[in-house]
């Protein structure tokens, strides 16, 4: 009960701050399932992005990966632990974090991840890493693409009282094809490209970055 109350209060605070300090529009909420395991995959432009996704989710079981480098910040560490965040060492194979994530998904919960592995320094998509595809494969859960734009540099604009306009779009769930155990590397790369192309197709052209010229992106746009 206390856990639910803490999440309710934190989410309320985030919603209030986002409404006061930004002009954020969230679309596709009807695509979020009310139960069942889901791997949510979002592009990453700003430190504000996780909060934007968190405030949009009306489920008590949602959590995500958080880079261990943030453990040094006591406030950040406390909030993440209260939300059952999974600390991840991005610089080595963190098998403990992966096991926790797999269990979380297998238990029918939501897990968020940024397939790019870090915030984009270009303001557009950078190459996705295969971690999200691997996790979807071993957990056997559907993937939900999330596109966020307008959040880049939001912190500086908020300090200047500019109220940045931000868009968050939740796409339709999809299931990745099985990975051939004889050629896992190729399979995970193929599925990573599919995840990233799904995100790119929901972004304006200038945010598509390295995926701008992928034929699959245009195919997804045309079929929408």
| Segment 112-132, tens digit of pLDDT | 999 999 999 999 999 999 999
- Split into its structural domains, the chain has a count of 1
Identify the CATH number of the domain in which residue 191 sits. 3.40.1130.10
The pLDDT of residue 38: 98
Q: Is 170 helix (H, G, I), strand (E, B) or coil?
A: strand
Q: How far apart are CA 41 and CA 111, in angstroms?
A: 9
Range of the domain at 179: 2-223
More confident position, 182 or 31 = 31
| CB contact at 8 A, 87 and 114 | no
Residues facing 144 on adjacent strands: 40
Specify the pairing of strand 143-149 against strand 165-170: antiparallel
| CB contact at 8 A, 176 and 143 | yes
pLDDT band at 7 (very low <50, low <70, confident <90, very high): confident
| CB contact at 8 A, 55 and 146 | no
pLDDT digits (tens, 9 = 90+) for 79-91: 778 788 888 887 7
Does residue 62 have a pLDDT over 80? yes
The pLDDT of residue 114: 96
């Amino acid at each position: 009960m206390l856990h639910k109350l803490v999440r309710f209060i934190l989410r309320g605070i985030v919603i209030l701050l986002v409404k006061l300090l930004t002009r954020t529009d969230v679309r596709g909420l009807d695509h979020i399932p009310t139960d069942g395991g889901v791997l949510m995959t979002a592009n990453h432009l700003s430190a504000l992005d996780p909060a934007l996704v968190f405030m949009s989710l009306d489920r008590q079981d949602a959590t995500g990966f958080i880079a261990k480098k943030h453990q040094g910040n006591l406030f950040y560490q406390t909030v993440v632990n209260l939300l059952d965040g999974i600390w991840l060492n991005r610089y080595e194979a963190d098998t403990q974090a992966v096991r926790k994530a797999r269990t979380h998904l297998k238990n029918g919960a939501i897990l968020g991840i940024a397939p790019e592995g870090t915030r984009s320094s270009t303001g557009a998509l950078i190459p996705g890493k295969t971690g999200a595809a691997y996790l979807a494969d071993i957990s056997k859960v559907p993937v939900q693409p999330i596109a966020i734009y307008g959040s880049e540099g939001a912190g500086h604009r908020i300090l200047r009282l500019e109220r940045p306009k931000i868009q968050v779009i939740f796409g339709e769930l999809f299931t990745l094809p099985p990975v051939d155990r004889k050629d896992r590397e190729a399979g995970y790369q193929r599925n990573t490209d599919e995840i990233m192309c799904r995100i790119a197709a929901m972004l304006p052209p200038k945010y598509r970055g390295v995926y701008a010229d992928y034929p699959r992106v245009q195919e997804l746009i045309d079929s929408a």
